């Protein structure tokens, strides 16, 4: 496609010219030289190239099967059906999809794309993969209640979408409606979040995305549903008729298996669907986002299990702990993998069974590190223990109360994680709690000020849970743990999350200021200065960050995969073209470039110092959590453009269930992130003094 045709298409597809310009149309009568050439090219490459749209930053923490995830599962199945690999090609703009397809950069488009007459003049569509309605939403707190209330209000929508035409038709009925394109990097979920926070009056979106959003947020309401049902389809070139027929045959056989949310089939049926839904909890052990990567002990175990059976996993996170078993029984998930203790009461529940056991941990009473009054079991008299009522700890402590030890048992909220309860003990908000010893060990490393007061009873084990009417799946899980438990993979995974988590492996050298008189801070000063200058950072702050990351050890490795001086994650190293992350030059170059990229995500009207703070927070905890923290700061009446006592405070809220459950990227270890930023800032100030003293010594030496 030449530049003029591309320009015309971009104008048309972006809504700038609507249907008034359609001067270029593909010739649908083009004769294929070969029979089904599109399929032959795919088979020759052994690769199905799918054009889609990338969301800005991250795609969030999936907590149920989203529309894009459902579409991706269908695509994996199509690639399997064609016996080729799936290659996703993500673009940053919907308007680029059709030009890229027509240029031969992809084989199909799969991006929740509405089938419209305008688009059909350029490309062919498959049979519908979904049916949706377009809906207008406003903030739940908004006084707007019906379509007529939107008169003279502004409706925001994404560029390049079919919403433009729908809203133009709506304006014929309500001419005072105002339409506004969303900022370029705003996707559907971002727009819904903005309207929920009251920053945007109204938004139009497809019903499937609204449903997915409302799974974890309740801050929007639908005030109008447009009457015409819309079909979502996959796009192909007009000459790719053979490919279209093959896709339609696949969809006819496959789509019915993906329609219902409730599904209780056994392993053979899961293999037919090609997905397995894992019910879990969003916490620092099971499932979470860290530096832009999905991680978690249960998450990685589940991925390993699914891979052995050719399944793709979908993570499902119910609102509360006590929703896990009811959701499994209803068919909202296939396996509970959430570090669930095998307790006597749970073993008696109808309809479920523990497929296998793993781990062996004591349950223990936990208090603060400075609590010297606890001398033994009788020290419980007059004390208060706080645990979730639906936890195995509650069962244990109820049995202990029968010994008339004189302690009080209080129920924590059912959506509160054990980690948060331990934080509340450390901060003296709660008196005592009970936790598994391995969880205590992890939290003690992370937040400190905790002490194991005493172990209670015998060791307990965790187990995955399935429905009793899924015996094949149950046996498959038993075989999986029989093979993997205490094996190399399991042991490495356990050490990753329970032994090394939140710490970098011991450094070979502990660098001290003044150790080498040749340099102000470290032997890497010249490299740090070079790359800091390229990206306009004070070099002392980069030096402070490197010290925090690796203690200036170029060979340092971390539990999460961080490598070298700046602890580059593997994906970050690849993104920045870092061929050898243990090379000081290559590592610092890539690390500073990535930090600059994070800084430049922040608006330029934010002060330079705060932009650096935000970049550091994003570097440590991931850009997604930073976005959540800034949004939450605005919701709390804090300044989203200021770090100290504003976004910093909002971060701390994200470790609390009531806020984390509504955050796009879930909960985060806010204490680690805020400590990371603040310690780097403090060290930076000390380094400035050290650099000044070094320069003074150098000047004196020159004068001599």
Contact in structure between 363 and 393 (CB atoms under 8 Å)? yes
Please say whether the beta carbons of 369 and 451 come within 8 A: yes
Catalytically annotated residue among 239, 395, 549, 648:
549
Distance CA 659, CA 282 (A): 13
Count CA within 13 A, CB hemisphere, residue 74.
Answer: 31
Sign of the torsion angle spanned by Cα atoms 408, 449, 497, 291: positive
Which of 632, 58, 600, 481 shows the shortest CA–CA distance to 292? 58
Q: Is 423 a catalytic residue?
A: no
Q: At what angle do helices 67-82 and 37-45 cross, to 10 degrees?
A: 90
Nearest residue to 642 (alpha-carbon basis) of 603, 679, 613: 613
DSSP state of 505: P
Output the DSSP codes for 503-567.
Answer: SBPPPS----TTS-TTSSS-TTHHHHHHHHHHTT--HHHHHHHHHHHHTT-TT-BBTTS-BTTTT
Question: Which residues does residue 236 pair with via DSSP β-bridges, in sequence order?
Answer: 124
Residues contacting residue 699 through CB under 8 Å, at least 6 positions apart: none
Q: How far apart are CA 641 and CA 622, in angstroms?
A: 17
Structure tokens belonging to residue 113: 């794309």
7: number of Cβ within 10 Å: 12
Q: Report the first-to-last Cα separation within the chain, whole angstroms.
A: 70
> 77's torsion region: left (phi>0), alpha (psi -120 to 50) or beta?
alpha
Give yes or no for a contact between 569 and 560, defined as CB atoms under 8 angstroms apart: yes
Query: What is the sign, positive or negative, of the torsion defined by CA atoms of 117, 121, 123, 125?
Result: positive
Residue owning tokens 């509650």: 394
Name the residue among 565, 676, 575 with its Cα closest to residue 620: 676
**Residue 10 burial by CB count (10 A; 0-12/13-18/19+): exposed, middle or buried?**
middle
- Give the active site residues: 549
């Amino acid at each position: 496609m030449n530049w003029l045709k591309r320009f015309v298409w971009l104008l048309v597809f972006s809504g700038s010219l609507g249907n008034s310009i359609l001067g270029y149309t593909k010739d649908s009568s083009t004769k294929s030289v070969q029979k089904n050439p599109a399929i032959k090219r795919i088979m020759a490459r052994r690769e199905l190239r799918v054009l889609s749209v990338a969301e800005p930053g991250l795609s969030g923490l999936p907590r149920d099967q989203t529309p894009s995830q459902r579409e991706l599962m269908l695509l994996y199945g199509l690639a399997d059906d064609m016996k080729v690999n799936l290659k996703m090609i993500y673009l940053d703009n919907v308007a680029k999809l059709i030009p890229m397809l027509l240029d031969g950069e992809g084989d199909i488009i799969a991006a929740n794309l509405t089938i419209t007459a305008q688009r059909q003049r350029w490309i062919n569509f498959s049979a519908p993969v979904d049916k949706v309605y377009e809906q207008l939403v406003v903030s739940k707190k908004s006084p707007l209640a019906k379509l007529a209330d939107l008169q003279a209000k502004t409706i925001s929508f994404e560029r390049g979408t079919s919403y433009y035409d729908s809203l133009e038709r709506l304006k014929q009925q309500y001419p005072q409606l105002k339409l506004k394109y969303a900022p370029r990097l705003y996707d559907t979920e971002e727009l819904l979040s903005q309207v929920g926070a009251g920053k945007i009056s109204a938004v139009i979106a497809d019903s499937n995305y609204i449903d997915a959003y409302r799974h974890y947020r309740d801050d929007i309401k639908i005030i109008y549903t447009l009457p015409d049902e819309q079909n979502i389809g996959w796009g192909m070139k007009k000459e790719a008729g053979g490919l279209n027929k093959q896709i339609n045959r696949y969809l006819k056989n496959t789509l019915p298996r993906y329609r219902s949310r409730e599904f209780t089939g056994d392993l053979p049926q899961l293999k037919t669907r090609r997905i397995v839904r894992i019910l879990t909890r969003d916490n620092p052990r099971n499932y979470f986002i860290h530096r832009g990567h999905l991680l978690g002990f249960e998450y990685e175990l589940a991925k390993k299990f699914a891979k052995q059976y050719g399944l793709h996993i979908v993570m499902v996170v119910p609102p509360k702990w006590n929703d896990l078993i009811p959701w499994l029984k209803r068919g909202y998930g296939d396996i509970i993998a959430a570090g669930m203790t095998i307790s006597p009461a749970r073993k008696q529940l109808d309809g479920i069974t523990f497929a296998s056991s793993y781990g062996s941990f004591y349950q223990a009473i936990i208090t603060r590190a400075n609590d010297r009054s606890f001398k033994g079991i009788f020290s419980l008299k007059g004390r208060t223990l706080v645990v979730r009522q639906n936890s195995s700890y509650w069962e244990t402590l109820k049995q202990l109360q029968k010994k008339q030890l004189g302690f009080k048992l209080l129920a924590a909220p059912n959506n509160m994680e054990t980690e948060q309860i331990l934080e509340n003990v450390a901060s003296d908000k709660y008196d005592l709690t009970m936790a598994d010893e391995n969880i205590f060990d992890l939290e003690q490393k992370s937040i400190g000020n905790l002490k194991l007061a005493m172990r209670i009873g015998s060791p307990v084990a965790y187990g995955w849970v399935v429905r009793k009417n899924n015996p094949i799946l149950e046996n498959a899980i038993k075989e999986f743990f029989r093979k993997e438990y205490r094996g190399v993979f399991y042991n490495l995974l356990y050490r990753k999350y329970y032994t090394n988590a939140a710490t970098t492996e011991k450094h070979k050298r502990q660098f001290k200021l003044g150790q080498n008189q040749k340099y102000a801070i470290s032997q890497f000063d010249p490299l740090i200065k070079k790359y800091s200058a390229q990206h306009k950072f004070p070099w002392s702050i980069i030096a402070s960050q490197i010290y925090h990351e690796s203690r200036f050890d170029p060979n340092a490795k971390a539990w999460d995969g961080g490598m070298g001086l700046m602890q580059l994650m593997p994906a970050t190293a690849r993104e920045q073209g870092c061929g050898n992350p243990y090379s000081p030059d290559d590592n610092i170059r890539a690390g500073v470039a990535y930090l600059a990229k994070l800084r430049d995500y922040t608006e330029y009207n934010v002060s330079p110092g705060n932009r650096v703070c935000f970049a550091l927070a994003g570097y440590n905890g991931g850009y997604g959590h930073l976005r959540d923290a800034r949004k939450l700061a605005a919701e709390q009446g804090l300044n989203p453009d200021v770090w100290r006592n504003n976004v910093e405070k909002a971060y701390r809220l994200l470790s609390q269930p009531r806020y984390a459950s509504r955050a796009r990227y879930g909960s985060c270890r806010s204490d680690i992130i805020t400590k990371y930023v603040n310690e780097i800032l403090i060290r930076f100030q000390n380094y400035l003094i050290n650099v000044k003293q070094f320069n003074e010594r150098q000047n004196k030496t020159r004068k001599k």
